[in-house]
Amino acid sequence: MTALIDRPATRPPADQAPADGGRAALRTLAARVAHGDERAFEELYGATAGAVLGLVLRVLRDRAQAEEVTQEVFWQVWREAARYRPERGEVLPWVLTLAHRRAVDRVRSAQAAADRDRTAALRAYTPVFDEVADQVERDLERDRERERLRRALATLTDVQRECLLLVYFGGRTQAQAAQDLGAPLGTVKTRIRDALLRLRAQLAADTPAHQA
């Protein structure tokens, strides 16, 4: 019986599918299967496997999965044949109902697995995304600060800007800046002090309201 179920099901030609007159025969086979008759099971399989495979294939649209689910359906038929009640319906609709349920369960299971994979991927990459986002925000803030400083420097006089750039951006001491500019040290110190005061006032005025 195991070899029978593990054998891929094939869709029979239309003239080999159970006809109306075969419903009684299927009921008889189902009753025999319920008592463990493997020969009856083989006949029932041969009469219905094609219809089961066709239905499952329409749901799953994947031949390999459809054949796998069809095997599962007939294992279920073998185990649960005793639960079949003729008064509730014919054998083929009962088997097809089992098949449809299993096919839908397979679709749902595949979708749930895909959702879990996506969730796991998002969780795995979230720290990376957060790190990138933080770095972008830092870069933007740095660019904004540079722009504010550029605007503030533009408000200085040329001599103030020269002194400030030499000392704070050129790495020169005030004495060296005075020598480079050919100006008295006291004059350079005054220019730097005035420049810093103006920069502080300009930057404060240029600070966005939500940062003030």
Q: 71: Cβ–Cβ under 8 A, 6 or more apart, which residues?
A: 5, 6, 9
Q: Is the pLDDT of residue 71 over 90?
A: yes
Return the residue matching tokens 């083989």. Answer: 42
Backbone region of residue 133 per phi and psi (left: phi > 0; alpha: psi in -120 to 50; beta: other values): alpha
Residue ranges, comma separated, of all CATH 1.10.1740.10 domains in the chain are 2-115
172: amino acid identity, one letter:
R
154: amino acid identity, one letter:
A
Q: Determine the pLDDT at residue 129.
A: 58
Residue ranges, comma separated, of all CATH 1.10.10.10 domains in the chain are 155-211
> Rounded to a whole number, what is the largest CA-CA distance in the chain?
119
- Angle between helices 63-80 and 38-60 in degrees, nearest 10: 140
- For range 176-182, the mean pLDDT: 84
Compute the distance between CA of residue 94 and CA of residue 192 in angstroms, rounded to an integer: 94
| Fold (CATH) for 2-115 | Rna Polymerase Sigma Factor; Chain: A (1.10.1740)
How many degrees, rounded to 5, is the angle at CA 185 between CA 163 and CA 175? 75
CATH top class, domain 155-211: mainly alpha
Which range is least confidently modeled, 34-38, 67-71, 78-82, 195-199?
Answer: 195-199
Report the percentage of the chain scoring pLDDT > 90: 31
pLDDT one-digit tens code per residue, 14-24: 334 444 448 89
